[in-house]
Amino acid sequence: MDLMETIKGRRSIRKYKPDPVSEEAMRMLIEAVRWSPSWANTQCWEVIIVKDPEIKSELATALPKTNPALSSMTEAPLVIVLCGKKGVAGFKKGEAATVKGDWLMFDTGIAMQTFCLTAHSMGLGTVVVGLFDHKKVEEILGVPQNAEVVAMTPLGYPATEGIAPKRKEPSEFVFYEKYTGR
């Protein structure tokens, strides 16, 4: 698949077939994450692959009932939980190198996008899930204090195509030479 076609064709998938995801496919997805860029190549990301239906159901209880991705958490054969090691990205000798502090959200965000695009190029569906009780998920999965859960995605073969929500026009977010937005 051509890169632009992959970028534009990827959709958030909230309905999944029960068909399993092969170990080979999972290996390829992890390989894609592995080659994501990161702050000083610190690679703060950590990935938890959840297949156990009981744990998936527990994870689903951390989502508000109004979250449109709720049913996909148990419907998809796998749930991928993206975590980040704290105090690594954006730090030099233990000190934050910029006013932004921890770049964990940024680096795990890139890793998640790499994961989702690769999955799409392989015919697999994903939906980034960010609206949930993070503390609850950390407890369920036994995530230690020095790491945190950032986002999750169900992973499996799409049962629907998904509709592309409208995008802003470049003129609404691209400025030349100086910031001219509002």
- Out of 88, 129, 143, 149, the only residue in the binding site for ligand FMN (CB under 6 A) is 129
User: For residues 121 and 4, is the Cβ–Cβ distance under 8 A?
Assistant: no
Does 152 help bind ligand FMN (rule: CB under 6 A)? no
Supply the minimum distance, in Å, between the C-beta of residue 180 and ligand FMN.
Answer: 26
Q: How far apart are the first and last CA of the chain?
A: 37
Residues constituting the chain? 182
- Out of 21, 29, 69, 76, the only residue in the binding site for ligand FMN (CB under 6 A) is 69
- Report the alpha-carbon distance of residue 32 to residue 34 in Å, rounded: 5
- Out of 128, 140, 141, 159, the only residue in the binding site for ligand FMN (CB under 6 A) is 128
Is the CB of 60 or the CB of 127 nearer to ligand FMN? Answer: 127
Does 130 help bind ligand FMN (rule: CB under 6 A)? yes
Which of these ranges, 18-26, 30-38, 128-136, 141-149, lies near ligand FMN under the rule CB under 6 A? 128-136
- Token reading at 144: 């230690």
Does 160 help bind ligand FMN (rule: CB under 6 A)? no
Which of these ranges, 24-32, 52-60, 65-73, 168-176, lies near ligand FMN under the rule CB under 6 A? 65-73
- Token reading at 83: 């975590």
DSSP 39: G
- Token reading at 2: 């051509």
User: For residues 11 and 61, is the Cβ–Cβ distance under 8 A?
Assistant: no
Is the CB of 43 or the CB of 72 nearer to ligand FMN? Answer: 72
Does 62 help bind ligand FMN (rule: CB under 6 A)? no
Closest CA to 118 of 50, 44, 16, 21: 21
- Token reading at 142: 């036994």
Closest CA to 141 of 58, 33, 23, 53: 58
Does 110 help bind ligand FMN (rule: CB under 6 A)? no
Is the CB of 41 or the CB of 66 nearer to ligand FMN? Answer: 66
**Residue ranges binding ligand FMN (CB under 6 A):** 11-12, 67-69, 127-131, 151, 162, 165
